[in-house]
Structure formats: structure tokens, C-alpha cells
Structure 1
């Protein structure tokens, strides 16, 4: 039931509105590392060079938001249809898949505990019928260059496989509590096969951009 509800919301433009509890500023879409922000005593480069599991969220600088790249815009078969409009970008593939990616800052009101708990809270905020058991751990790229070896960042994913002739969807999200920001990616495709291919391209090309100092 939860998958159906969220799936319906995703299909309405392939996007669910990520909450902005404190009228957050929009983090610009980035193709490279975010604009340097000096945080005394914090080695952002060292943090960016390692995997970012949920347990490592506290190693980020306090209040310095993450970003997300626009790596799908130049991928074969993909066309950008929205570029950083209110913090959201959308990409359409020739086979009918639609990807929406957004990043938000000032997300402190969503922080419930560690990053995993906060991310579960984000999903239930968007749809109260979603239970933690429906979510599985997945990864996106964490800095570096698309399609080259590099560290990963853990996210939670909700999948809604489509029945015959129905759209298949997936939503990947993470709240970064210490950084007070969140990333949210939705993928909507004509069927399960095209969804799997699109998810692989998202995982390879949509890079979560670590803060830098």
C-alpha cells in the first residue's frame, strides 16, 4: 500500500516535495565540488575521500550542506528537462524514464537521531504509511568523477515494481543531520527492466557532492 501511495505521488511529475521546514535556501546543482566553506579544524577533503555510510554522518561539518551533480544531462539517451528550478533538476530518457533530483538545506527540523533514523523520518513525513521495513539500503556516488572508481554514500530506497503495463518507480533519499541538508532522487520508468537500467545510470552519474573547506 505504501509503495502504491508513494508511487502515485512520484508519477505526478516524478517528484515528491521534500519538506522545507524553515524556508530553506536552495543548494545549487553542481558539476564539481561545492564552493569552499571554511570550517576551522575540519578536514573536508579527508571526509570526501571516504565512503559515507549512515554511521559516518557526524563527520561532516556542522551546517555545511551537501550538493548533487547534474551528471545525467550529458549521458547518452538522456535530456535535461528542468535545470535547478527551486533546487530540482529533471532528466528524461529516450525510453520514457524520468529522473528528478533535488537537494535541500536547513533540514535540522527533520533530524531525529542518526542519519538513518532521520531518513526513515523523511519517508514517513512524505507518506505516513511507509514503514521502515519497506526501505532498503542503496548507494550513490560520493564525490569524485562519474563512472570512475570512488567512494559511495549510503541512502535509503523505496521501490515500487510496476505490474504488467504499469509504471515502475524508485525513490532514493538521505538526510544529512550534521550538515542539515538532504538529497532526494526519484526514478519513474515504463517497466521494471527500464527502471533497473535507469537506476544503474543514476548510481553512476548523479554524484552527491561533499562539502569542502
Structure 2
């Protein structure tokens, strides 16, 4: 059975559906995360805080994978069971600082205008794989909250690869973009479950208002690329 890292992350029965997206974001920022454990797989050792590019077994054409865009339909080109990584470049972007460095796989970044970004990679996600990567990512969101329907999710992109000399590439993700509640914060959650790789990546953004959210998302798109495994 899938289990969450932190208890108490599910939606109360009395909560209206329109409040669902805020619950999901609060769970992400509050430390609840998808952690689908296989009891036959040993617990992974915590990786160093340095955001090393994942490595794969010889024979896989990692350079070709890194040199192309990665839409949902192309997820099978990834190496079996090797997680996709995520950069920590946002800490170098103007106005941003890192406030959490790879704690249980999660890093957080705070901007001077009050925006907060949380980025996390999880392995052992095969139990959520549901066909292709799009369907698997929908399953990831539904695991966070069963009331999430596919039509709530929009297709977006993040940068794919961190080579400044290579042509820019993109990786498709699904985004949950709830309406801004009166007096509340503007939020967005972007995620992808890589079914072949057996790992998931999500990035949550929470800002004081819609304008600062748009600016923060542009910073994330520029400075927080996903990292394909390399030889």
C-alpha cells in the first residue's frame, strides 16, 4: 500500500472540492510527499547534498536522451529504474536563497518578495505507474488527493538538462493551478512521474499574489531544470 511521509495529509470529508488544490499545496509545503515503498526494496541511502547528475548503466544512450525534448510519450527512452534529478540552480538566481538543502530529498528556496519554492525527487514510485507518463502523473496527483480529476491538470514544461552550451530542451509536466482565494496566496504545483525510471519529481510554488507567482514560475523555468541521467 502507498504510504505518505507524514500523517494527516488527506482531505477532510467536510472540505469543499474547490478547496482541494490548496490542501494539496499545503501538504507539499508542509512536508507530506508521495513515498510509495516496495517492501522488497531496501531503504535508499540519503544522497549527498551536492545535486549530482544521476548515472546509468553502460550501453544506454544517455547523450541522445539528454539531447531531445521529453514529452510524456517519450518517457520509455529513460533507463529502467534510474531516477531523474533536479538542479539546485535557483539558489543562484537574483533574489533567491536556499533555505532547505536536500532534506529527505527536498530542497526549498525563498525569494525576497515572499515566494517559496519546494522541489523534491522521490524514488521507488513504480506502484503508481499507470501506463505512460501522463497517466502515471495523473495517478501521482490523485494519490496526493483522490478528488483531483484529470481536467484540473494542465500540461506545462520545465527545462530538460543543465548544459548551457546545448540547445534548450524541455520536459513535459502536469500543473495544478488553483484560483487565488481572497486574501490567500497564489500557488501552483508541477509534477511528473517517470514510469520507466520509477521516480517522481514535483515542484511547488507559493507566492503572495498572482503577479509574484508568474515571476517565480519564470525563475523556476529558467533555473530549476530536471536532470537526465548520464553515462
TM-score (norm 1): 0.91
Q: Higher relative contact order at CA 8 Å, sep ≥6: structure 1 or structure 2?
A: 1
> 2:148 is matched with which residue?
130
Find 1:11's aligned residue among 22, 26, 33. 26
TM-score (norm 2): 0.84
Q: In 1, distance between residues paired with 2:131 and 2:141?
A: 15
> 2:57 is matched with which residue?
38
> 1:74 is matched with which residue?
92
Q: In 1, distance between residues paired with 2:47 and 2:177?
A: 26
Q: Residue 89 of structure 2: SS of its match in structure 1?
A: coil
> 1:20 is matched with which residue?
35
Q: Residue 222 of structure 2: SS of its match in structure 1?
A: helix
Q: In 2, distance between residues paired with 1:83 and 1:117?
A: 30
- Asked whether the 8 Å contact 1:3–1:130 carries over to 2, the reply is no
1:7-156 mapped onto 2 (5 Å cutoff): 7-11=22-26, 14-15=29-30, 17-22=32-37, 25=44, 31=51, 33-34=53-54, 36-40=55-59, 42-145=60-163, 149-156=167-174
Q: Residue 11 of structure 1: SS of its match in structure 2?
A: helix
**Runs of 4+ residues deviating >4 angstroms:** 26-32, 146-149
> 2:228 is matched with which residue?
210
Q: Which moved more, 1:90-99 or 1:2-11?
A: 2-11
Q: 5+ unaligned residues in a row in structure 1: which ranges?
A: none
Q: In 2, distance between residues paired with 1:121 and 1:77?
A: 35
Q: In 2, distance between residues paired with 1:176 and 1:3?
A: 28
Based on CA coordinates, which of the two structures has the bigger radius of gyration? 2
Q: Residue 93 of structure 2: SS of its match in structure 1?
A: coil
- Asked whether the 8 Å contact 1:139–1:154 carries over to 2, the reply is yes
